[in-house]
Amino acid sequence: MANAQRREIVVISGKGGTGKTSITCALAPFAKNTVFCDLDVDVPDMHIILAPQAQKTEAFMGGHKAIIRQEECVGCGTCQKLCRFEAIRQIDGHFAVDSALCEGCGVCSALCPQKAIDFPEALCGHWSISETRFGPFVHAQLKPGEENSGKLVSLLKQEARALAKKLGFTSLLCDGSPGIGCPVVSSLAGATLAVAVVEPSLSGLHDFKRVAGVSAHFHIPCGVIINRYDLNRQGTEEFEAYCQKEGYPLFGKIPFSAELQAASQKGLALTETGGALTETVAAIWEKIVNFHPSTRSQLRPMTAKRNE
């Protein structure tokens, strides 16, 4: 992907439950020559609609877990005393590590007088490259309770970019992580455009200001889709006024609709049912792909607002 032509759109939200994934999937049928990527690795959902057929699946290793070699352990109990996560238990006279509690700090392994504790890299989950009816899809599944999601997000983006380059595609459409933590920062790194799916309420506006601040920090332009706008028309007006005042492009508004639930129940994207909202979402996609920040000055007010 030559940088000048590269388009990397990441759909984000200040918090979960705004309809971010449903809208990302609804945009997918309009995105041609695009690699899709689910970066919401803590709760990946795009696969439910995209119905991927895996072409390649690999292990995701991250962090470390302690394992006691029983044959070399002399039962001194030092490791149990040192472990502040209470991950080492004595069972039937033997010391053993509960891998679910082990935080991988490595203290026990470093200080065991017998050097009887291994500290290998641990399997955290799997990631895949799949085919879907809309195009190639890069996604992952973390094991329950696993962290390292920022590292996995970076890996998925790297793989999606490499795949796009191999296929001669210039676009990535990613479902980003919700919130403003480490995974969303990893989601946004290198993006050319953030699209925030928001709900029209005071708390929705507050969440948007925070996530737009993260976006501004990385000098990534950020536009807005107001979802279920008709449930709070006054909130929508206030959101629109804020976007206009601060220079955030409003890509569109989507009303609450039973169409979405009906489509999901059939395993379809909202825009595959031929319902009334298809044109609405098509128009939003046109605005997104035709958006170009005209000058760098458009980014300055966003940067200035990042600590709000």
**Footprint of ligand SF4 (CB under 6 A):** 66, 68, 73-79, 82-83, 85, 87-88, 95, 97, 102-108, 112, 114, 116-117
Tell the smallest beta-carbon distance from residue 237 to ligand SF4 (Å). 52
- Contact (CB, 8 A) for 105 and 85: yes
Give the shortest CB-154-to-ligand SF4 separation in angstroms.
24
| b/e burial code for range 195-206 (CB count within 10 A of at least 16 → b) | bbbbbbbeebbe
Question: Identity (one letter) of the amino acid at 299?
Answer: L
Q: How far is the CB of 67 from ligand SF4 (least distance, A)?
A: 9
CA 161 to chain centroid, in Å, comes to 15
Question: Would you say 85 or 256 has its CB closer to ligand SF4?
Answer: 85
Q: Which is nearer to ligand SF4, 1 or 73 (CB)?
A: 73
DSSP 3-state of 81: helix
- Closest distance to ligand SF4 from the beta carbon of 247 (Å): 47
Task: For residue 249, give Cα distances in angstroms to 172, 194, 201, 224.
Answer: 20, 11, 18, 6
Nearer to ligand SF4, 84 or 292 (CB): 84
Q: Would you say 27 and 165 are in contact if contact means Cβ atoms under 8 Å apart?
A: no
When the beta carbons of 59 and 111 are compared against ligand SF4, the nearer one is 111
Shortest spacing between CB 97 and ligand SF4, in angstroms: 5
Min CB(142)–ligand SF4 separation in Å: 19
Nearer to ligand SF4, 56 or 143 (CB): 143
Min dist. Cβ of residue 102 to ligand SF4 (A): 3
Q: Do residues 13 and 178 touch, judged by C-beta distance below 8 A?
A: yes
Pick 83 or 155: Cβ nearer ligand SF4: 83
Angle between helices 20-27 and 277-289 (to 10 degrees): 80
- Give 269: exposed, middle or buried? Use CB within 10 Å, 0-12, 13-18, 19+: buried
d(CA 265, CA 273): 11
Distance between CA atoms of residues 213 and 173, nearest Å: 21
Cβ-proximal residues to 185 (8 Å cutoff; 6+ apart), any chain? 150, 214, 218
